[in-house]
Amino acid sequence: MNEKPGIPMNNAAVRSLPKHLLQFAVDQRYDEYTPVDHAVWRFIMRQNIFFLREYAHKVYFQGLLDTGISFDRIPRIEEMNDILGKIGWGAVAVDGFIPPAAFMEFQAYKVLVIACDMRQIHHIEYTPAPDIVHEAAGHAPIIVDREYSNYLQRFGEIGAKAMQTRKDFELYEAIRHLSILKELPNSDPEEVAEATKEVERRFANLGEPSEMALLSRLHWWTVEYGLIGTLENPKIYGAGLLSSIGESVSCLEPGVEKIWYSIDAQNQPFDITTRQPQLFVCRDFQHLMDVLEEFANTMAYRVGGLEGINKAIECQRVATCQYSSGLQVTGVFSEAISDNGETINTTTPADRQSEFGNRRCVYLRTTGVTALAFADKQLNGHGKERHAEGFGSPIGRWRNVNTAPENLNDDQLRSIGIAKGAKATIDFESGVTVSGRIERILRCDGKLAVITFSNCSAKLGDRVLFDPAWGEYDMAVGERISSVFNGAADKDAYLEVALIPKERTIKAPSDAKRRKLENLYQQVRDIRETKKGYERLGEIWETQQAEHADDWLLSMEIFELLDETEQQPELKQRVAAFLKTIAARSKDKETLVSWGFRLVEYHKLPEYRAIHERAAAAH
């Protein structure tokens, strides 16, 4: 079991997480949520019950009940894990946006990452940064649908293999920084404007989108902002919409274009900090899986070959090339030689990729620390210490041998002079020649994987690929490169530390005035939960009026209690008049206040009371 202080391990999926993912997990710090935070959560969740019961996918509301998410307070990660564990999933808290590759890998392990921050009241309709509303109330309820949860996990498995570039990460950092600034209650407009320009600059300099960039778009237009059903009457299933009471309303309006979902969605960029001008509609969840597999067929991890190796060279980050023998070479790939003798490296123009389909790679090379693995487990004696300065090896069939080299048995090897202790020469059909004394022959799961030579030379014509003075030569065996994917094969053994953002999310500052407001919210919460002290509501409201005249949500909660108990009609009238005054100040406030009044009326209906009772029982 991988233990980390503050991380709940009461869930099988969370316990299965490898060390390189646990570095992103943080303690939820539940006690730091304020009474205002819980009030914001409550307002959003109750609005969701009202609106989404009609417009969300049918599984959403049942999922809210099945996952035990409270409508009245922010959930604890431990509580969610107790429930999610019953359907084979788990959850961990993280700090805001995490890198796409890590996010995808968490999904592959069937673990939801929960950004544990809570949106501020001025972003109650829509938050530019991930928060616990988005993750817990958006993602979690939908995964109770088995077909959808299978899609989510499969997306994670495929996404974790997607090739990405340093520029991808730089763009991610810029977007993360902008989202943090936008979520601050008193952010500097000039700083926000500069951060916005930086996102635009990095996006403009991104170049040809990587596999991860394209796959992130498919993820955005489905998991985050997807609609399902028909173009005329779609239902909401994307977590970004389900957690945004503003956009969940506006997204179904005619002004937002609805497009049938297809692989072409990969060509539609998105802005994570604002509302979307168009959305994609799928027929059903199987439709999502079909498009995902269609995209996966274009990826390096399935294509392999020279095209895949070229993507690894272009990314200039740790990647893995897998031979058809199953041997996996992990490192930073710097060079490949094609079957026409041309060298491909980081200076090869990107527009040459279309030529690679009909050509084969006959030799590959890494720069710096490299490791060999099989079935995602590092091979003994083939870690970074042995291959500290890089690795190079031929690919392909051997001349005058009719069998793929990885399939040769020991008798066949001996018949062509390949045996431990023998001096041998292997001529490849490509023209590469390897000569030396054989020290070791390594098989993995019956396949010939590595032949180690001493006093070895490797050449392609007059070009020296390996010199005897460089030490022992580990020659990888395989007819072809079957797969190329992002990151290390055995991440923990390779000690691959994913790029973790240095900038942390910022909690809203709490001064003496803020703490007094939080105390007023807590008093109203206590009155609602204990059903005692209603006579104090007038005093609490007068204090709010005197010290926090711009706060509307506390007044709405007081109005709700007064309406429910049918007490103090004069006070109720004054509170209502104040809320109408607030509503007149801006369109946003008018919308929120009208939603609040609508909720008060809705909650009188037997239908709502039944829903509330079911939710309370489930929780």
pLDDT above 90: residue 24: no
pLDDT above 60: residue 362: yes
Residue 396: what pLDDT? 97
Residue 405: what pLDDT? 97
Q: How far apart are CA 417 and CA 422, in angstroms?
A: 7
Largest pairwise CA distance in the chain: 102
pLDDT tens-digit profile of 431-465?
999 999 999 999 999 999 999 999 999 999 999 99
pLDDT tens-digit profile of 119-137?
878 777 766 667 888 878 8
Residue 500: what pLDDT? 55
Question: Predicted confidence band at 359 (pLDDT cuts at 50, 70, 90)?
Answer: confident
pLDDT tens-digit profile of 498-519?
555 555 555 666 778 889 999 9
Task: Pick 385 or 3 by higher pLDDT.
Answer: 385
Q: What is the average pLDDT across 245-257?
A: 82
Candidates 148, 140, 151, 152; CA nearest to 61 is 140
Residue 140: what pLDDT? 84
Instruction: Kindly list the distances between the CA atom of residue 62 and the CA atoms of 151, 222, 346, 440, 618, in Å, as whole numbers in the listed order.
Output: 19, 20, 52, 60, 10
pLDDT tens-digit profile of 149-174?
999 999 999 999 999 887 887 887 88
3-state secondary structure 37-84: HHHHHHHHHHHHHHHHHHHECHHHHHHHHHCCCCCCCCCCHHHHHHHH
Sign, CA torsion 496/498/503/509:
negative
Sheet holding 25-26, edge to edge: 25-26, 90-94, 111-115
Residue 249: what pLDDT? 75
Percent of the chain topping pLDDT 90: 57
pLDDT above 70: residue 356: no
Instruction: Kindly list the distances between the CA atom of residue 616 and the CA atoms of 111, 311, 408, 566, in Å, as whole numbers in the listed order.
Output: 25, 52, 65, 24
Q: Under a CB-based contact definition with an 8 Å cutoff, are residues 418 and 405 in contact?
A: no
pLDDT above 70: residue 335: yes
pLDDT above 60: residue 351: no
Residue 108: what pLDDT? 96
CA 287 to chain centre: 21
pLDDT tens-digit profile of 514-533?
899 999 999 999 999 999 99
DSSP labels, 533-602: -GGGHHHHHHHHHHH-TT--HHHHHHHHHHHHHT--HHHHHHHHHHHHHHHTT-HHHHHHHHHHHHHHHH
pLDDT tens-digit profile of 35-62?
999 999 999 888 877 778 788 898 888 8
- Which range among 193-197, 399-403, 469-473 shows the weakest confidence by mean pLDDT? 193-197
Residue 481: what pLDDT? 97
pLDDT above 70: residue 6: no
Percent of the chain topping pLDDT 70: 90
pLDDT above 80: residue 613: no
Residue 1: what pLDDT? 46
Residue 279: what pLDDT? 95
Residue at token pair 């994670």: 156
Domains (range + CATH), the chain: 12-164+210-294 (1.10.800.10), 300-494 (no CATH), 512-618 (1.20.58)
Q: Which helix (H) or strand (E) holds 236?
A: strand 235-236
pLDDT tens-digit profile of 198-217?
888 887 777 788 899 899 89
DSSP labels, 439-475: EEEEEETTEEEEEEEEEEEEEETTEEEE-GGG--EEE
Q: What is the average pLDDT across 91-102?
A: 84
Candidates 520, 615, 505; CA nearest to 39 is 520
For the chain, give the mean pLDDT: 88
pLDDT above 60: residue 73: yes
pLDDT tens-digit profile of 372-405?
999 999 999 999 999 999 999 999 999 999 999 9
The single-letter DSSP state of residue 428 is: B
pLDDT above 70: residue 487: yes
